Structure 1
Amino acid sequence: MEKKFRIRKNMEFKNIYKLGKNYWNRNLILYVKKNDLNRTRVGYTITKKIGNAVVRNRLRRKMKEIYRLNFHKIKEGYDLIFIAKRNIKDIPYKELEGSMLHIMSIAKLLKKR
């Protein structure tokens, strides 16, 4: 199993917000910044407006699982931050997965088949 690389430090998040390009759809905002590494790092932001800690953590776990299952489809060398929009707490798993894949395809992050 491949190792997952996460963005954790506040300064890294701020740097990506400032210098990265953003894409959005109904459910998510995605910030993308090219990094000088041969791996893709990912971070998740879910604000308190979406719900309490239980709701936010459940949503974060779903997003991490979708990323893990689709990791092989994503190009290397990018920093990604997924930001959940308010209406995301009510959508089913499959719709969230479709939304994440859709926003990555808009950003041209998916590998050619």
Structure 2
Amino acid sequence: MRRLKNRSEFLKAARGQRVGRAAFSLQANARDLAEPGLGRVDPGIGFTVTKQMGNSPQRNRIRRRLRAAAKACASGFEPQHDYVLVGRREALSIPYGQLVSDLAAAISKIHLKKKS
């Protein structure tokens, strides 16, 4: 998986489909085949947590938990897609196993929406 770093990549993912869970919101968008950098077929993933979710140690902890959950669900991410995980405060309080299962369910739901 590659990391999304540019604002434009985050905005493109935001135009795609969304699935909300208690601890996060998942945004996904298929990359255009005519885009430059076509050789990069790996899925892209970005993480964002707004200041409303707490001070910087809390935001960083939310981000770390989401990164770990994304790593655990890496096989579910499809190539040629960009994903953005928008963290929520509940990501701090729910058990890690539930966070991983919620993310796996959100990924499968996004791809079910896309195919129908």
- The question of a shared fold, defined as TM-score above 0.5 by the shorter chain, is answered with yes
Output the CA distance in 1 between the equivalents of 2:41 and 2:61: 30
Q: Deviations over 1:81-107 (max 9, x none)?
A: 011233322212112112211211211
1:1-113 to 2 correspondences below 5 Å: 4-17=1-14, 19-35=15-31, 36=33, 37-108=40-111
Query: Per-residue deviation at 1:27?
Result: 2.2
Matched letter for residue 7 of structure 1: L
Output the CA distance in 2 between the equivalents of 1:93 and 1:51: 19
Q: Deviations over 1:30-63 (max 9, x none)?
A: 1110013421000011111211111111121121
Structure holding more helix per residue: 2
Structure 1 residues not aligned, in runs of 5+: none
Output the CA distance in 2 between the equivalents of 1:85 and 1:66: 14
SS of equivalent residue, structure 2 residue 52: coil
| Percent of paired sites with the same residue | 23
TM-score by length of 2: 0.79
TM-score by length of 1: 0.80
What number of residue pairs does the alignment pair up?
Answer: 105
2:62–2:89: 8 Å Cα contact kept in structure 1?
A: no
Structure 2 residues not aligned, in runs of 5+: 34-39
SS of equivalent residue, structure 1 residue 99: helix
RMSD: 1.8
